[in-house]
Chains A and B, each alone.
Chain A
Amino acid sequence: MMTAFRDVARNPLALAGSVTVGLLVLVAVLAPLLAPYDPSAIDASLILTAPSEEHVFGTDELGRDVASRMIYGARISLSVGFVAVGISVIIGCIVGALAGYYGGWVDALAMRFTDIMLCFPTFFLILAVIAFLQPSIWNIMIVIGVTSWMGVARLVRAEFLSLKEREFVLAARSQGIGDGRIILRHILPNAMAPVYVSAILGVAGAVLLESGLSFLGLGVQPPTPSWGNILTAGKDNIEIAWWLSVFPGLAILLTVLAYNLLGEGIRDAFDPRLRVGRGAKS
């Protein structure tokens, strides 16, 4: 584990990713302290003003400060990312663990269900579901989580398939330890490394999905600020107010890039083959 951290720290891209992620989390947590203005304070005298010293990212069509809205928007994006991924990891672990551990028809059933879920284009599935539900932030989190667990399920299943034959698992079985305890205490903790990587990469995907939904008006609803719905306003005014599109767009780009770099850095750090290549001791 420590070696993994050191490997991430040694990889400049992964380091940049983790620093950016850290800053984003800090910004989201400290939003009320960092935001220069109230994100929903409307000022009719400041409609669509260009970036200036008072309003570094300009103002929107209702005269609200874009920088403040984006700082609060970071909260939305990251919390949707984390909660949605949390849901998908939990579902994925349950499905993958049962399929991998019990095998046979349980495995066949669970994996065919996973395949079916993978057949749907996620974005359209989410659009269809949201069309029937209230597009609230909680619904967004749940829907993204429920439609993105398949990768985790496959990873966990694969880990379980190999781990359940390992001797320490046989030893636990030979001691009369029950299936539930073997799954939770003996196999799952040893199966989590690839899940962490997948979860971090998943946050990037969830942030992107949330932005896309909000952009289409089916995600986080105004006046709650989200990077996606700031972009929507930007689209309507793109010819006269470029800052409304550019800054949230860059924020989304940076966030997704940062999570991907961090995720890939951790994956490389966990991969023993790469580690041997660099001649470091595990």
Chain B
Amino acid sequence: MSENLLEVRDLRKYFPLSAGLFSRRRGEVRAVDGVSFDLAEGETLGLVGESGCGKSTLGRAILRLIEPTAGKVTFQGEDVLSLDRRALRAKRRQMQIIFQDPYASLNPRMQVGDIVGEALTIHGIASGSERRERIVELLRIVGLAPEAYGRYAHEFSGGQRQRIGIARALAVIPKLIIADEPVSALDVSIQAQILNLLLDLQERFELTYLFISHDLRVVKNVSDRVAVMYLGKIVELAGRDALYKVPLHPYTQALLSAIPLPDPRRKKRRIILQGDVPSPINPPPGCAFHTRCAYAEARCREESPGLREILPGHFASCHFAPDVGRENAAS
């Protein structure tokens, strides 16, 4: 594995809950609660979890679109969280984001050419006819006709809009792209097109992806490694094949068992989780998953299991991870 492009250490984002006339702090929502991972250059890390588990907040906190509460983010050996405004603006060229909702992520009052090319002007990358050529080239790369240049976003379909968003992210020649549910809002038939486009671009421009999704099948298609999030924490992190074949965390097992199979005659054992995700305002003590876990014992209610390397390159945060894995392989 080559050098790490991105290193995230113990990243936290707590949203304060204030109430009353004088904004007393009543508590906090622990959206991201101590997340650490590395991202090697050219790699794709899939990040999965239910809605509300903090995936998107994590992505945005890494880019400082939301200021993290604590932790450390190192990008190309530089501490992102200590950059001042100027340095951060310059650094942002290297880290881009693609959003989930292709309708909300494009300014309705700007022409596509300006949406894609604004950063070219801002960073002094290109101007005049050179800028126009660059924009047309970018549109071509993502599979849009040059005529798109003078149109407005609402004249395009969801898939085309997502292509515009991708062209915008590519315009600044980034190293890292955080794809925040880039295909969740699209039809299944369009999803494959956009995923293939992202994979092509990765090869062509040597991009590194943090691919956030709640769809385990999509993540399996694009990722080299996969991280599973639950209540603001990474509960399992492993190579894609290892994670999908031998999940070591009970939560991952439950998620994987919920993937629908395309063959209606094949039966498989489903793990149905009881209850709801606990509130991140008042997370349960010990292991956050113990309230819904089939393996939970007294120890889980008191002692929080850290993310441990159970097998080489395979991390899980469960006291009983090895047993869980063995049992899973047996069943």
Contacts and interface: CB of A to CB of B under 8 A. Distances in A.
Interface size class of A (residues with CB under 8 A): 10 to 19
Interface string A156-187: 00000000001110111111111001000110
Nearest to A171: B105
B65 interface: yes
B92 A170 contact: no
Contacts of A166: 104
A174 B101 contact: no
B90 A176 contact: yes
A280 B194 CA distance: 33
Contacts, number: 66
B97 interface: yes
A175 B60 CA distance: 13
Given A176-B89, A177-B118, A171 B110 contact: no
A173 B90 contact: no
A171 B90 CA distance: 15
Identify which of A166, A176, A186 gathers the most chain B CB atoms within 10 Å of its CB: A176
A96 to B, nearest CB: 18
Given A189-B109, A190-B109, A175 B104 contact: no
Nearest to B102: A167
Contacts of A175: 92-93, 96, 118-119, 122, 168, 171-172
B86 to A, nearest CB: 10
B315 interface: no
Contacts of A173: 65, 92
Given A174-B97, A175-B168, A189-B109, A168 B104 contact: yes
Contacts of A186: 107, 110
Contacts of A189: 109
B245 interface: no
Nearest to A169: B107
A170 B60 contact: yes
Contact of A176 (B92, B104, B110): B92
Contacts of A178: 89, 122
A174 B122 contact: no
Q: Which of B63, B88, B110 has most chain A Cβ within 10 Å?
A: B110
Interface in B73-103: 88-93, 95-97, 99-101
Interface in A180-239: 181, 185-186, 189-190
A199 B316 CA distance: 60
A180 to B, nearest CB: 11
Interface residues of B, number: 30
**Interface residues of chain A: helix, strand, loop or mixed (majority):** helix
Given A167-B99, A181-B122, A174 B63 contact: yes
A167 B60 CA distance: 11
A175 B107 CA distance: 14
B232 interface: no
Contacts of A176: 88-93, 119, 122-123, 172
Nearest to B172: A175
Nearest to A178: B89
B207 interface: no
Contacts of B118: 172, 175, 177, 185
Contacts of A168: 104-108
B172 A171 contact: no
A113 B96 CA distance: 39
Contacts of B68: none
B250 interface: no
Given A167-B99, A167-B101, A167-B104, A174 B109 contact: no
B54 interface: no
B99 A171 contact: yes
A68 B307 CA distance: 87
Nearest to B99: A167
A190 B108 CA distance: 8
Given A181-B122, A189-B109, A174 B104 contact: no
Interface in B114-173: 118-119, 122-123, 165, 168, 171-172
Contacts of B100: 167
Nearest to A168: B107
Interface of A: 166-168, 170-178, 181, 185-186, 189-190
13 contacts: A166-B104, A167-B100, A167-B104, A170-B97, A172-B118, A175-B96, A175-B122, A175-B168, A176-B91, A176-B92, A176-B122, A177-B89, A190-B107
Interface of B: 60, 63, 65, 88-93, 95-97, 99-101, 104-110, 118-119, 122-123, 165, 168, 171-172
Ordered nearest first, which 6 A-B pairs have the shortest CB separation?
A167-B105, A176-B92, A176-B89, A175-B119, A167-B99, A189-B109
Given A172-B118, A174-B95, A175-B171, 18 more contacts: A167-B99, A168-B106, A170-B65, A170-B99, A171-B97, A171-B106, A174-B92, A175-B92, A175-B96, A175-B122, A175-B172, A176-B89, A176-B119, A176-B122, A177-B89, A177-B118, A177-B122, A190-B108
